[in-house]
């Protein structure tokens, strides 16, 4: 009798477990179809382009949302722009200038090539039910083995769930009638059920429906809705390989959570994940768990291309968030941001961080908590994303100088062109000058120099004067610069100091300078010319 009792208990236990599993599955399925009552739309995800947040086999419930409430970070079900008649479930990355939405699969490095109109948006992902749609994935992939095994598993679960109910009515009665002898209950365990259909009809029916639903991936009570989304499922597979090249770079974005690894702080700096209904951009944020004013977190970010950028950032606001001051490379961004929000957590509108010249390479980002709203209950900081819009990728021109003596080798002339050493006498810049040993009016020389970066430069030069120097016309790229310069100086050789040659638009690359002797002072004994240095200051 003890053995029989044990057997009975074991069967009860098995049946209980089986029922638990079945009811759990049923619960998941109900969760995926119940929102239909609210007009929401379940969609089976067939591929992994949204992993790790949304996996193949998940059911995502889509809720309609007004276009003006769409925010980057929302998971959207849209008409697939690449495949007519099909749909796509990707995350809203950013808006184009024309107001179209650029989406990206979480698992994809690049955004989708074709933006979508807000008219193409069916809704935002609101609820994720894991696994339930897996049979639909197998069906779509024609993988009948796991399908069959799942069906078999369900049948086994059904059988197990039925055993105690079918094999003794006494047991059923005992639940209702405490006077029944509980020991008698398991006395006929092996006897085929006399009334197998008695109690478990409801359970069996429900479980059969559930099995059918799971195997086909179609929620029975919502078959219309689900079949409407079947076309969606086809598009998930098709959408996996992003077919075209990304658009030409007009900047870049950094998910702040990617900066956590490089971060240090006086309080913990962490990646805070969110699920579907949380809608951080990229599915997570950088969470600085500051506790007091003065808490500082520092991290670094990489800029791929030198240029002028328009920066903006998306922060998180919540009832326990503080006021944070941001600095890039030590330069503060004004004003500080108050993360306090009375009602729940939300993403901020993009905050304008102004224009900034950033060189390619590593830059430092600092978050300093400076206080909190009186009603805030904490000093937390959440940074979601930083956007860098590239305004001008032309690298800024740098000032430069050319010692004219370095141009001697590139020079040709009707008289010798030499590097003349200062010999400790004349204080030439760089210790030497370019010396044009002209002997008569009309002598001319030409040389060339390189401009590293295009720009408008304030050009000036240091020339040389002496008792035997002539008058010389300087030209730049064939244009005469000012009147002829008179190099005559009665008392020995000296340099002039910087003489302005005006603002010149100079493209990067070689430019030509020429000197032509036009005459000499009456008292000069020669026609020499000398250039010591040329300075270029960009405007
Ligand atoms: Ca983020
Ligand atoms: Ca010099």
Residue-wise pLDDT for 367-410, tens only, equals 999 999 999 999 999 999 999 999 887 767 889 999 999 999 99
End-to-end CA distance of the chain: 102
* Among 72, 104, 133, residue at a domain's last position: 133
* Ligand 2 centroid – CA 529 distance (Å): 13
Per residue in 457-493, pLDDT (tens digit) is: 999 999 999 999 999 999 999 999 889 999 999 998 9
Q: What is the token pair recorded at 41?
A: 């739309």
Q: Are 388 and 94 in contact (CB under 8 A)?
A: no
Tell me the ligand closest to 531's alpha carbon: 2
Does residue 357 share a domain with residue 314?
yes
CA of 73 to the centre of ligand 1 (A): 8
Query: Of 375, 392, 409, at which residue does a domain stop?
Result: 392
Which of 376, 392, 408 represents a domain boundary (last residue)?
392
Whether residues 492 and 363 share a domain: the answer is: no
pLDDT confidence of residue 152: 87
* Whether 168 and 289 share a structural domain: no
CA atoms lying within 13 Å on the CB side of residue 488 = 16
Q: For residue 84, is it within any domain?
A: yes
Q: Give the distance (Å) from ligand 2 centre to CA of residue 466.
A: 16
Does 414 lie in the same domain as 489? Answer: yes
- Please check the confidence at residue 138 and state whether its pLDDT lies above 90: no
Instruction: Report the separation in Å between the CA atom of 332 and the middle of ligand 1, taken as the mean of its atom positions.
Output: 22
- 166 phi and psi angles, rounded to 5 deg: -85, -30
pLDDT band at 297 (very low <50, low <70, confident <90, very high): very high
b/e burial code for range 185-200 (CB count within 10 A of at least 16 → b): bbeebeeebeeeeebb
The verdict on 372 and 423 lying in the same domain is: no
189-238 pLDDT, tens digit per residue, is 444 444 444 444 455 555 555 555 554 444 333 222 232 333 333 333 33
CATH number at residue 43: 2.10.109.10
Residue 28: strand, helix, or coil: helix
For the beta carbon of residue 120, count every other beta carbon within 10 angstroms: 17
Structural domain for 424, as ranges:
400-538
User: Which comes out higher in pLDDT, residue 146 or 495?
Assistant: 495
Let me know whether 257 and 368 are in one domain.
yes
- Tell how far the Cα of 383 is from the centroid of ligand 1, in angstroms: 7
- Does 481 share its domain with 517? yes
Q: What is the mean pLDDT of residues 433-455?
A: 95
Q: Which residues surround ligand 2, an ion (CB under 5 A)?
A: 403, 428-430, 433, 532-533
Among candidate residues 114, 493, 430, the one with its CA nearest the CA of residue 419: 430
pLDDT tens per residue across span 239-264? 344 444 544 557 899 999 999 999 99
Q: Give the mean model confidence (pLDDT) for residues 533-539.
A: 93
In a domain, 230, yes or no: no
Instruction: Return the minimum-mean-pLDDT range out of 56-70, 111-125, 213-227, 273-287.
Output: 213-227
Q: Any idea what the CATH number is for the domain that residue 379 is in? A: 2.60.120.260
27's tokens: 């619960």
Question: Does the residue 408 lie in any domain?
Answer: yes
User: In this predicted structure, which of 6-20, 101-115, 156-170 has the lowest mean pLDDT?
Assistant: 156-170
- Are 169 and 194 in contact by the 8 Å Cβ rule? The answer is yes
Asked whether residue 223 is assigned to any structural domain, the reply reads no
Residue 534 domain-assigned (yes or no): yes
- Asked if 411 and 494 sit in the same domain, the reply is yes
Is 221 part of a structural domain of the chain? no
């Amino acid at each position: 009798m003890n053995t029989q009792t044990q057997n009975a208990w074991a069967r009860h236990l098995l049946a209980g477990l089986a029922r638990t599993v079945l009811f759990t599955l049923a619960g998941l399925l109900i969760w995926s179809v119940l929102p239909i009552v609210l007009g929401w739309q379940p969609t089976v995800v067939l591929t992994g382009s949204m992993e790790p947040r949304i996996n193949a086999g998940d059911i995502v419930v889509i809720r309609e949302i007004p276009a003006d409430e769409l925010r980057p970070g929302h998971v959207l079900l849209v008409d697939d722009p690449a495949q007519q008649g099909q749909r796509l479930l990707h995350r809203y990355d950013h808006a184009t200038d024309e107001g179209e939405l650029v989406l990206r699969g979480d698992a994809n490095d690049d955004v989708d090539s074709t933006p979508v109109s807000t008219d193409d948006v069916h809704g935002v992902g609101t609820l994720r039910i894991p696994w339930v749609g897996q049979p639909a994935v197998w069906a779509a992939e024609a993988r009948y083995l796991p399908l069959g095994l799942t069906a078999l598993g369900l049948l086994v679960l059904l059988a197990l769930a039925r055993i105690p109910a079918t094999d003794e009515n006494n047991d059923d009665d005992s639940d209702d009638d405490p006077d029944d002898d509980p020991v008698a209950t398991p006395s006929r365990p092996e006897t085929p059920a006399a009334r197998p259909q008695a109690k478990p009809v409801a359970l069996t029916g429900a479980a059969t429906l559930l099995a059918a639903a799971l195997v086909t991936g179609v929620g029975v009570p919502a078959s219309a809705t689900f079949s409407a989304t079947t076309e969606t499922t086809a598009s998930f597979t098709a959408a996996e390989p992003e077919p075209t090249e990304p658009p030409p770079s007009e900047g870049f974005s950094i998910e702040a959570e990617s900066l956590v690894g490089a971060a240090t702080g006086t309080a913990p700096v962490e990646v805070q994940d969110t699920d579907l209904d949380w809608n951080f951009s990229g599915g997570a944020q950088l969470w600085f768990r500051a506790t007091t004013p003065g808490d500082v977190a520092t991290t670094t970010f990489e800029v791929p291309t030198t240029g002028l950028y328009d920066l903006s950032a998306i922060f998180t606001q919540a009832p326990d968030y503080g006021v944070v001051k941001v600095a890039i490379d030590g330069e503060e961004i004004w004003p500080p941001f108050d993360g306090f929000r009375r009602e729940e957590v939300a993403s901020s509108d993009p905050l304008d961080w102004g224009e900034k010249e950033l060189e390619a390479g590593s830059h430092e980002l600092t978050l300093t908590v400076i206080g909190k709203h009186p009603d805030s209950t904490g000093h937390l900081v959440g940074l979601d994303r930083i956007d860098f819009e590239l305004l001008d990728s032309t690298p800024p021109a740098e000032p430069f100088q050319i010692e004219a003596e370095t141009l001697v080798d590139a020079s040709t002339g009707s008289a010798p062109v030499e590097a003349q050493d200062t010999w400790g006498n004349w204080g030439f810049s760089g210790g030497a000058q370019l010396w044009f040993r002209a002997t008569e009016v009309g002598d001319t020389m030409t040389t060339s120099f390189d401009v590293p970066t295009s720009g408008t430069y304030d050009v000036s030069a240091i020339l040389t004067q002496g008792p035997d120097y002539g008058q010389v016309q300087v030209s730049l790229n064939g244009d005469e610069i000012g009147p002829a310069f008179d190099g005559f100086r009665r008392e020995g050789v000296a340099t002039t100091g910087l003489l302005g040659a005006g603002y010149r638009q100079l493209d990067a690359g070689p430019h030509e300078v020429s000197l032509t002797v036009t005459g000499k002072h009456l008292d000069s004994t020669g026609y020499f010319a000398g250039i010591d240095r040329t300075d270029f200051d960009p405007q």
